[in-house]
Chains A and B, each alone.
Chain A
Amino acid sequence: MTPWLPFRLAWRQLRAERARLLSAIAGVMFACVLVFMQLGFRSALFDSATALPQALDGDLFLVHPLTTALFRPESFPRVRAFQTLASPEVSVAVPIYMAQAIWRNPVNGSHRAIQLIGFDTEAGAVNFPGLPALIPALKRPDTIAFDWKSRPEFGPVAALLSERGPFKVQIANREVEIVGTVALGASFGADGNAVMSETNFRRLVSERKVGNTDLVALRLRPGADTAAVQRQLTALLPRDVRVVTHAELVAWERNYWETATPIGFIFAFGSLMGLVVGMVIVYQILFADIASHLAEYATLKAMGFSGGYLRLVVMGAAGILAGLGFVPGVLASIGLYDVVAKATLLPLRMDPNRGFLVAALIFAMCATAGLLAMRKLRDADPADMF
């Protein structure tokens, strides 16, 4: 007996009932799209939550070991930045300062906390789109660059800028001039961002210790072995800093949002719901197919077809439904990603790994439905046929 024969029988049986087949495919497709959207949102939210560390341009970074997320860093002595220069492989060490301050909406005067990011703008440690053109202007006293991807509650800053040019706003009870915009993006920790030079940061945040910094970006000489320098610096520096690579910094931030918040759980739960609904739909279809063909299945058993052959027919039908539902499901999801990405500015896109994961989930879902529906085959008893 060749294994494709039960598979062919499954296909012929599914094909015979067009309406039933279409509703089954629609069910699988629905589950597929739902899971893709949940996983897509999850990944997009984590991506946007890690926009700040991703925009930082360094080979290695110093962070305090107690820093859980960059929106509330634990500060450490700035002198650690200069100590790293003892290594001949380190070419630049740039302290980055972060704090949250109250922003006053330039249109209606309402208050909101904004994330301030200060650093030596000429050191090339940060890679925000739009920043290079603003570097000369940001050298002037009391100037900032505003993140136009901040939440709208901060006011229509970008529109006002293009309308009347640089204008003054109030941050932390001090007047500063907005000289332009950069693109960074709101995260769970910060609704909006303002970027400025180190000196201007100190003017806005006067109460903190001058000798402390929050993060240090290191650039190595070309050709340096990052891992070796990381080991060397870790051995050299006191325990109040950790030396991490750029990837580790991003992963650290991401891990915080995955583990310390219910975000990961919510989307996993949503995906599970989609799979359960899809499973129930496929189960119903497979069950109905068996129940309405009990006499025929019993006849096949009487003719000498084994229970294994009939089980393969059911699993074959489950596999066909998974395949036929997944293909339109993945195509619909690619289209929906595009639509939703444009509407929400979230970085949603199809990723091959996620495609393989969802394909595996959908096939597992249909296989589970098949295994459950298979129990109905026991009712096909050839002794009842006569």
Chain B
Amino acid sequence: MPPPVTLDGVGYAFGEGALRRPVLRSLDLTVAAGELVLLTGPSGSGKTTLLTLIGALRAMQDGSCRVLGQELRGASEVARVALRRRIGFIFQNHNLLAFLTARQNVAMSLELHPDFGDEGKRLAAADAILDQVGLSDFTHVVPAKLSGGQRQRVAVARALVARPGLILADEPTAALDRQSGHDVVHLMRDLAKKSGMPILLVTHDPRILDVADRIVSMEDGRIVA
């Protein structure tokens, strides 16, 4: 079985002509099945751009990027949307829908999956994963009434509930205090390890480096370590 993520000579630049500014230069990276890879580096080193390319949120420019068996070079918008459904995203901000309760937010990501055809199944799966992230008492609460750590745990539950083949997280602890950040990352790792989901996590946060299987450092669009 090929690894979930294989990057081969990936390059990316913003702007045109004289304003063209490369952010990724001929970059190679592999994430193995079940591996937690932590991506660090100074601001502007291209970590986030790399994450958006792997997450099929951006069209490729140079090189080859295979994610969960899908070649993203020249992939159509339809193919990219289909791939995104197999990836769990966790953002710096929770981005939960304010007018939905925790379980409704989690259940929504299952609307795209044919295995969860009816609302009952979706809500049951949502309740189960909210229980695993320790929020069984908050399933009917709207995000505004949760703490920052609780909201991010709902976001983790939302990303993991559909059992994605890959989890992409961007600074998931940036908005949290030390203890909440530690809890969220460990929770994420434990849940992912249980079902063998690989995680690619971009972070500046030195407090969470201990969760990683492997740490990749980037600078000026290249991997340096």
Contacts and interface: CB of A to CB of B under 8 A. Distances in A.
Nearest to B55: A302
B112 A303 contact: yes
Given A299-B95, A302-B55, A383-B57, A1 B111 contact: yes
Contacts of A304: 81-87, 112
A86 B202 CA distance: 102
B89 interface: yes
B99 A386 contact: no
Chain A interface helix/strand/loop/mixed: helix
Interface in B89-104: 89, 91-93, 95-100, 104
Contact of B48 (A5, A295, A305, A386): A386
B170 interface: yes
Nearest to A292: B98
A343 to B, nearest CB: 44
Interface residues of A, number: 23
A295 B92 CA distance: 12
Nearest to A299: B95
Given A304-B81, A305-B112, A383-B57, A12 B91 contact: no
Contact of B85 (A15, A16, A293, A303): A303
B111 A5 contact: yes
Nearest to B112: A304
A368 interface: no
A293 B112 contact: no
A386 B84 contact: no
B112 A386 contact: no
A122 to B, nearest CB: 75
- Among B82, B95, B170, chain A packs the most CB atoms within 10 A around the CB of B95
Nearest to A17: B99
A385 B57 CA distance: 9
Interface in A265-320: 293, 295-296, 298-300, 302-306
B7 interface: no
Interface of B: 48, 51-52, 55, 57-58, 81-87, 89, 91-93, 95-100, 104, 108-109, 111-112, 158, 170, 202
Given A16-B99, A302-B55, 5 more contacts: A295-B95, A303-B109, A303-B112, A382-B84, A386-B51
9 contacts: A1-B111, A12-B99, A13-B97, A298-B95, A302-B57, A304-B86, A306-B81, A383-B58, A385-B91
